Amino acid sequence: MSRNNYSEAYHCFVSALQKKPDYSIDRFNLAKTEYALTNYHEALTHFDYLIAQGEYHIESLMFKSIIFYEKGMYDQSIENLNRVIAEKPDSVEAYTYLARNFRKMKRHDMADKLEQSLAALAQLKMNN
């Protein structure tokens, strides 16, 4: 999607939230749009709101972890990923980002272990 399309989407979601501020799907879509526009601070604010409301909890934690990863804030990213994994232990995406964080932190041993576990899990799923 082009930046102009995200800008248009942003305005639509802001307008919708002005009419229904508690409508969580619009807030979640606004947060994702802010993320796409690299307005990370605003996106984090919306994701935090959704988490506090118990809406789109796992998805919001995952987006927060990706934002922190992209900003080079690996400890915060790992903290959010651990929360995702605690609630959804089969989240391959969370484990994948966890391995990426460890690689960036030069903790290759941890990244290697995670990647080996992911490969084993994929093999198990293929055999079933």
Same domain, 70 and 126: yes
Confidence of residue 8 (pLDDT cuts 50, 70, 90): confident
Identify whether the C-beta of residue 15 lies closer than 8 Å to the C-beta of residue 22.
no
pLDDT at 93: 92
Entry pTM: 0.86
- The Cα 85–Cα 81 span in angstroms is 6
41 and 6 assigned to the same domain:
yes
Domain shared by 49 and 88, yes or no = no
Question: 100 with 123, same domain?
Answer: yes
Q: Which domain holds residue 116?
A: 58-128
Residues 38 and 64 occupy one common structural domain: no
Same domain, 66 and 80: yes
Residues 70 and 114 grouped into a single domain: yes
pLDDT at site 101: 97
Q: For residue 52, what pLDDT is reported?
A: 94
Write out pLDDT tens, residues 28-86.
999 999 999 999 999 999 999 999 999 899 999 999 999 999 999 999 999 999 999 99
Q: What is the reported pLDDT for 2?
A: 60
Are 49 and 2 in a shared domain?
yes
pLDDT score at 3: 63
The answer on 51 and 90 residing in a single domain is no
Enter the DSSP assignment of 71: T
What's the CATH number where 69 sits? 1.25.40.10
Residue with tokens 């709101």, as numbered in its chain:
49
- Domain total for the chain? 2
Confidence label for 127 from pLDDT (cuts 50, 70 and 90)? confident
What is the per-residue pLDDT across 101-122, written as a single tens digit (0 to 9) for each?
999 999 999 999 999 988 887 7
Q: Are residues 68 and 42 in the same domain?
A: no
Give dist(CA 18, CA 3) in Å, integer: 23
Measured distance CA(17)–CA(19) in Å, rounded: 5
